[in-house]
């Protein structure tokens, strides 16, 4: 699996890397990553409101990963024995921050994920606002988080389309890669 | 009723709720993985408070940012205030946002449009 992950990682990797990680995704990893990114941006000229937007989207992206990293038993290996295995890379491009996350999903989940992201990507900013408010006010709260608000919120805050890829691992499992951009020069 | 005083952490806000003065304040970041657990005592307190509230209740919300898991819980807090207002009590909601933070201003406007209690939007200038 290591070679497969190296290839996925390679595809995810772009720009100047701020943080890159592969392993167990837990609450401490999220807190530490946020702390690290904050420290790295502290003395930069990036505007405060953009920094806050970046932290907000980063938390949302990593917690979304956290809630969906149930690693299938048959995929755990000696190098990666974690039951909550995920990957993320935060990088800086000339005019945008890039947050790319990855986790394994069963093949039968792909259509649902695609449909959800395609729908979000098809909406205007005004429609996203209404969709967000509708889900906030109507959707049942799940144990897993904000009841499906995460991706809508990311699309709304970044104003950019969500990019995704599915890399085939075997007949049953794919590696789902989601990438979002936070512009700092407009 | 008890005074609630929850100290903030890197992932949760500072919360004070005073039944004597009718002042509630939520300040800081709200990004816990499990928001229901954090907000339950706050929502429960408001429910109890609504049985014998002060004539005027003032709620100050000054969040740096919050995750979507918290957004639902924050709505639950506001829904308790909506009931309080419906019962003919005075409710003032002060929503603070930092200068240039359009995301936070918009978040306040979203809540205001859902719960139908006017918000006072207050910009914090450095």
Look up residue B100 and give its two tokens.
Answer: 């240039």
Kindly report the pTM of this predicted structure. Answer: 0.92
Q: Give B45's DSSP letter.
A: H
As a whole-number percent, the residues of chain A with pLDDT over 90 amount to 70
As a whole number of angstroms, the distance between CA B117 and CA B106 comes to 15
Task: Give kind and range of the element (H or E) at residue B30.
Answer: strand B23-30
Q: Give A75's DSSP letter.
A: G
As a whole number of angstroms, the distance between CA A152 and CA A154 comes to 5
ipTM value greater than 0.95: no
Cβ neighbors of A75 (< 8 A, separation 6 or more) are A1, A85, A104, A169, A173
Residues 57-96 of B with CB under 8 A from A: 64-72, 75
pLDDT of residue A69 exceeding 70, the answer is yes
pLDDT value of position A186? 53
CA A167 → CA A11, A22, A181, distances in Å? Answer: 10, 16, 20
As a whole-number percent, the residues of chain A with pLDDT over 70 amount to 96
* A72 band by pLDDT with thresholds 50, 70 and 90: confident
Listed by start position, the domains of chain A span 2-107+160-183
**pLDDT tens digits, one per residue of A19-64:** 999 999 999 999 999 999 999 998 888 999 999 999 999 999 999 9
pLDDT value of position A51? 94
Query: Between chains, do B67 and A60 touch, taking CB under 8 Å as contact?
Result: yes
pLDDT value of position B82? 96
Query: Between chains, do A49 and B98 touch, taking CB under 8 Å as contact?
Result: yes
Mean pLDDT, residues B46-60 taken together: 96
| B112 and chain A in contact, CB less than 8 A | no
Closest CA to A147 of B89, B102, B120, B71: B71
Look up residue A165 and give its two tokens.
Answer: 């890829």
* DSSP codes joined into one string, B69-99: HHHHHHHHHHHHHHHHHHTT-EEEEEEEEET
**pLDDT tens digits, one per residue of A120-152:** 999 999 999 999 999 999 877 665 554 679 999
Contacts of A157 in chain B (CB under 8 A): 103
CATH number, domain with residue B96: 3.30.750.24
- Share the mean pLDDT of chain B: 95
- The total number of structural domains that make up chain B: 1
**pLDDT tens digits, one per residue of A95-122:** 999 999 999 999 999 999 999 999 999 9
Mean pLDDT, residues B27-50 taken together: 95
Is A76 in a helix, a strand, or coil? coil
What domain range is B56 assigned to?
A: 4-124
Is B4 in a helix, a strand, or coil? strand
CATH architecture designation of domain A2-107+160-183: 2-Layer Sandwich (3.30)
CB-nearest partner of B67 from A31, A53, A63: A63
Burial class (CB in 10 A: 0-12, 13-18, 19+), A75: middle
> E strands along chain A, which residues?
16-24, 85-92, 96-106, 163-168, 173-183
More confident of the two residues A184 and A82: A184
Mean pLDDT, residues A158-183 taken together: 95
């Amino acid at each position: 699996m290591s070679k497969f992950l190296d290839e996925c990682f390679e595809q995810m990797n772009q720009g100047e890397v701020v943080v890159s990680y592969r392993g167990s995704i837990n609450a401490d990893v999220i807190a530490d990553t946020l702390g690290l990114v904050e420290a790295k941006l502290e003395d930069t000229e990036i505007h405060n409101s953009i920094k806050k937007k970046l932290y907000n989207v980063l938390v949302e992206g990593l917690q979304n990963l956290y809630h969906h990293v149930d690693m299938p038993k048959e995929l755990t290996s000696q190098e990666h024995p974690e039951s909550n295995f995920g990957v993320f890379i935060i990088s800086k491009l000339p005019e945008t921050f890039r947050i790319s996350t990855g986790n394994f999903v069963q093949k039968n989940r792909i259509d649902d994920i695609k449909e959800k992201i395609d729908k979000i990507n098809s909406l205007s900013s005004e429609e996203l606002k209404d969709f967000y408010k509708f889900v906030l006010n109507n959707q049942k709260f799940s144990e897993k988080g904000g009841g499906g608000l995460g991706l809508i919120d990311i699309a709304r805050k970044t104003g950019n389309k969500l990019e995704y890829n599915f890399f085939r691992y075997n007949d049953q499992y794919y590696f789902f890669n989601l990438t979002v951009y936070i512009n700092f020069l407009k | 009723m008890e005074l609630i005083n929850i100290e903030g952490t890197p992932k949760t806000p500072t919360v004070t709720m005073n039944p004597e003065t009718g002042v509630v304040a939520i300040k800081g970041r709200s990004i816990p993985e499990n928001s229901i657990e954090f907000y339950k005592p706050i929502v429960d307190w408001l429910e109890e408070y609504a049985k014998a509230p002060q004539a005027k209740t003032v709620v100050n919300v000054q969040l740096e940012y919050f995750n979507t898991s918290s957004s639902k819980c924050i709505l639950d807090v506001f829904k308790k205030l909506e009931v309080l207002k419906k019962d003919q009590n005075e409710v003032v909601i002060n929503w603070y946002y930092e200068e240039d933070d359009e995301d936070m201003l918009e978040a306040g406007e979203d809540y205001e449009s859902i719960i139908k209690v006017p918000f006072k939007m207050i910009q914090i200038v450095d």
